[in-house]
Amino acid sequence: MRRVTLTQYLIEQQRHYGTVSPELRLLIEVVARACKAISHAVSKGPLTGIGDSVGLDNVQGEAQKKLDIIANEVLMEANEWGGQLAAMASEEMAEPYQIPNRYPKGEFLLLYDPLDGSSNLDVNIAVGTIFSVLRCPNNCTEFDASSFLQPGSQQVAAGFAVYGAATVLVLTVGNGVVGFTLDKELGSFVLTDERIMIPEETQEFAINASNMRNWHPPVKRYIDECMAGKTGPRGKDFNMRWVASMVADVYRILCRGGVFLYPKDAKHKEGRLRMMYEANPMAFIVEQAGGAATDGTQRILDIQPSGLHQRVGVVLGSKSEVERVTQYHAEAHEG
Ligand code: AFP
């Protein structure tokens, strides 16, 4: 069997579709290499104390773990010198990081959540890295933080790694979604899923049910109907899953379908998840895999962001379920 590596996949994309320039390929390869280093650090578990809190909060007001900081630095150091980027923005940094003048600058912007789900680190549950690539507007002649504020539809690539029982890398360059598995002996990502498609029909939903008292009526209606099972309006039993690592929840949905909700509610008025580091890349991937992603009312990829650390409601996964939730919001709005 021919083993296709990440590099081969990207070169073939360029040959056949002209969509992955050498600069974009190098950028994705460097991000993937950084993910290997993070995977190695995560796999050490409590041996190094890297899951410990450092006693500081990030810009989101969440307790930072040592590994959050290490993962952030690994990605920054790996990507700053190669000449493909103009700047990077991270969930763990208040301000964007501009490529220092000692290095050449490139046409791309990189955004990442270095360690998504890090509150799960101390209990050995899968965590991951999410990334998104944008083009720097106006050839970066007038770069500032607002250069990042482009709707998700402008992403040229997005992906995420899951550091679970196996380390997997899910990627889209706008031509479907593919999955790679890290061969730890060889140190390379090998293509193991050449076309990830989310099943249209599902009987599984993912939501943090402890927020139930805060949910808005359309979300409550949707979940109530799922919970009613065979004898309810949906006429079938549903199963519920919630890992509290978006990377793991979305990976499951890519593999076997389902719907993921972290909606706006009475407590999370703007939503809980970050638009630029979590919602946009995941929405791009999910749509490329045949699914859908909205904030309850509109397509996530169409939203014009107003801030780098902005939060947003998220409903994503199997298309028909996302459309149903969105429809319930529309009906509630119409009164
Ligand atoms: P952390 O990276 O701070 O652990 O947050 C993870 C996350 O952003 C996302 O991966 C989960 O889906 C969501 O938060 C879980 O949130 P709850 O803890 O509120 O369920």
> Is the Cβ–Cβ distance between 27 and 35 less than 8 Å?
no
Give yes or no for residue 279 CB within 6 A of ligand 1: no
Q: Are residues 45 and 169 in the same domain?
A: yes
Which of 141, 159, 193 marks a domain boundary?
A: 193
**Tens-place pLDDT, residues 137-163:** 987 777 888 999 999 999 999 999 999
Q: Are residues 142 and 12 in the same domain?
A: yes
The Cα-based distances of 311 to 184, 214, 243, 290, 333 in angstroms read: 35, 17, 20, 24, 21
Give yes or no for residue 62 CB within 6 A of ligand 1: yes
Q: What is the mean pLDDT of residues 294-308?
A: 97
Which of 160, 211, 262 for a ligand 1 pocket mutation test, highest count of atoms within 8 Å of Cβ?
262
Q: What is the SS3 assignment for 193?
A: strand
pLDDT attached to residue 50? 59
Q: Which of 102, 98, 106 is nearest to 27 (CA)?
A: 106
List residues bridging with 168 in a β-sheet.
162, 181
| Reported pTM | 0.95
Q: Are residues 147 and 226 in the same domain?
A: no
Work out which ligand 1 atom sits closest to the CA atom of 60.
3
Q: How far is the CA of 152 from the centre of ligand 1 (A)?
A: 20
Q: Are residues 35 and 158 in the same domain?
A: yes
Which of 193, 212, 243 marks a domain boundary?
A: 193
What 172-175 contacts at long range (C-beta under 8 Å, 24+ apart), as own/partner pairs, is: 172/284, 172/285, 172/288, 172/289, 173/10, 173/13, 173/19, 173/20, 173/24, 173/28, 174/19, 174/288, 175/13, 175/17, 175/19, 175/288
**Domain encompassing residue 277:** 204-333
**Tens-place pLDDT, residues 177-196:** 999 999 999 999 999 999 99
What is the chain's mean pLDDT, rounded? 94
> Is the Cβ–Cβ distance between 47 and 170 less than 8 Å?
no
